[in-house]
Structure 1
Amino acid sequence: MDFVLKEEHGFSYIDEGEGEVLLLLHGLMGALSNWGAVVEEFRSEYRVIIPILPIYDLPLLTTGVKSLSKFVHKFIKFKGLTNVTLLGNSLGGHVGLIYVLAHPEYVKAMVLTGSSGLYENAFGGTFPRRENYEFVKEKVEYTFYDPKTATKELVDDVYRIINDRPSVIRILAMAKSAIRHNMKKDLHKIHVPVSLIWGRDDKITPPEVAIEFKAELPNADLHWIDKCGHAAMMEQPQEFNKLLRLFLDKIKK
């Protein structure tokens, strides 16, 4: 992904194209590259922005999903954004849900794929064999339907992160915060249009999670992608972009 990373006012972000804003939020061990196919497809028609969430930089006592939502609000205000369509994968979806509850006036619509917020089956509470590269590789492959999607570069990145002590402590704190902050009782308050684009073979946030989101959100539609795991925009980018375009066209009307 050959995009310019901007550094400004303590924020690091990608900002491509012009028009209505698509704000993309990555997951717990996600990276900007996870959204590469979405940026490529839509930057000619939309302003596509990806802020790097400060998952590894927050003070340990404030490491949690609410802190990330506050960070997103500071970023949106700093950039003067309005009428934003939020897209979130995994933890990014959870942060987006918390954000829209607190600041609905800034959000036009949402797209959730493999979002946490109800239930997730992630690495678990610890990384008992984090020094073991093959163990980490298996865990990254578990994220996808096709293990080949877990490239060596991706596995190397996760291995490096979870073998850095300050980073792994924050990952575990963030994961526990996400589990504690269950959204079920609040979802009925979210009235913006929401599109749930879900991998039918997601083992992290399995299909029943998407079905529950659809039942609890007042204005949601649900689309499945076959042979697809937890990160649909990476594993099945063409199908994901097709469904995303249908939703964006619908909310234009």
Structure 2
Amino acid sequence: MPLTQESAARDITLPSGTHVRYYEAGDAHATPVVLLHGSGPGATGWSNFSGNIGAIADAGFRVLAPDMPGWGGSDAVATKDMDHDRDLVELLDALGIEAAALVGNSMGAHTAVRFATLHPERITHLVTMGASLGRGQASLFGAGDGPSEGLKTIVRAYKDASPENMKALVEIMTYDKARFATPELTKARSDAALARPDHLRNYVEGLAHGAPIPIRVDRERIREIEAPALLIHGKDDRVLHFEVTLFLLANIPNSRAVLLNRCGHWAMIEHAEEFNRLVVDFLRNN
């Protein structure tokens, strides 16, 4: 039976009382892999990783893709109260998982990197795609006059999650616009975003405090990460420059980087088959 969003969906209430929607596939006794989505409007564990969950599960892993609080089917949360590290610890505890491989895109990569610095005993592998480390993360090649072109487009789509703005968002997130910025995809992302006006409102209100999401990773501790790390980035990423991945490569001792040509911010979507092969091979052999 093919994996569907409905068949993979699960719900759980964390000890803090927060409701979390997550998607699961694979053997419950297999090695756990947690996929962490980015911060774009309409982003969920399913919308970011629908092309990866089943493939990684079929390779022999237990795959979990949560909607982090503030996104998707999970509870709304004000920016000032957001702490995805705490949420992830609670989710793993609630599911009885002692340690897991973390695979994060953008905001999800920030969560994964921070988790690796704070809970080294609970992470087996670290995989990042288009990692975000906050202000000053790209000093040589990134935009020097404020947010990147891609981040400005994300903010516009949060303020007005119309299909037109979602089309602009998907276009800037990907290299192959003709293939990925389809009317069907942009409408689906728009509908998903508009279904949760509380998420949209919290994100926009967070902008007044200097950032839509809290950036809490301590960069000085990144060099302490012991877990093997696979760092993936699109050469054509217009949201976060691949210099961020080069910084991680220089500071995480057991790391390797893959830079993909003709690839934007969504490597796991634009190059799904290659991404799945890279991740599965990395998890099996490191």
Shift of 1:179: 6.7
| Gapped regions of structure 1 (runs ≥ 5) | none
Q: Is the 1:42–1:48 Cα contact (8 Å) retained in structure 2? A: yes
Give the counterpart letter for 1:4 in structure 2. Answer: A
**Map of 2:61 onto structure 1:** 46
Q: Which shifted more, 226-235 or 169-178?
A: 169-178
Flag the 1:130–1:101 CA change in 2: closer, same or farther, 3 A: same
What does 1:60-71 correspond to in 2, within 5 Å? Answer: 60=78, 62-64=80-82, 67-71=83-87
Q: 1:127 aligned to 2:156?
A: yes
Give the counterpart letter for 2:53 in structure 1. Answer: V
Q: 1:33 aligned to 2:64?
A: no
Give the counterpart letter for 1:104 in structure 2. Answer: P
Shift of 1:149: 1.3
**Map of 2:98 onto structure 1:** 82
Q: Which shifted more, 35-44 or 224-233?
A: 35-44
Flag the 1:182–1:21 CA change in 2: closer, same or farther, 3 A: closer
Flag the 1:189–1:157 CA change in 2: closer, same or farther, 3 A: farther
Of 156, 169, 176, 2:201 maps to 169
What does 1:82-101 correspond to in 2, within 5 Å? Answer: 82-101=98-117
Q: TM-score of the superposition, structure 1-length normalised?
A: 0.87
Q: 1:155 aligned to 2:163?
A: no
Q: 1-side partners of 2:57 and 2:201: how far apart?
A: 36
Of 142, 147, 150, 2:172 maps to 142
Q: Is the 2:79–2:212 Cα contact (8 Å) retained in structure 1? A: no
**Map of 2:11 onto structure 1:** 7
Flag the 1:137–1:93 CA change in 2: closer, same or farther, 3 A: same
Q: 2-side partners of 1:133 and 1:50: how far apart?
A: 25
Q: Is the 2:33–2:101 Cα contact (8 Å) retained in structure 1? A: yes
SS at match of 2:50: helix
Flag the 1:98–1:177 CA change in 2: closer, same or farther, 3 A: farther
Q: Which shifted more, 92-101 or 129-138?
A: 129-138
Give the counterpart letter for 1:170 in structure 2. Answer: N
Flag the 1:150–1:179 CA change in 2: closer, same or farther, 3 A: farther
Number of matched residues? 249
What does 1:211-250 correspond to in 2, within 5 Å? Answer: 211-250=246-285
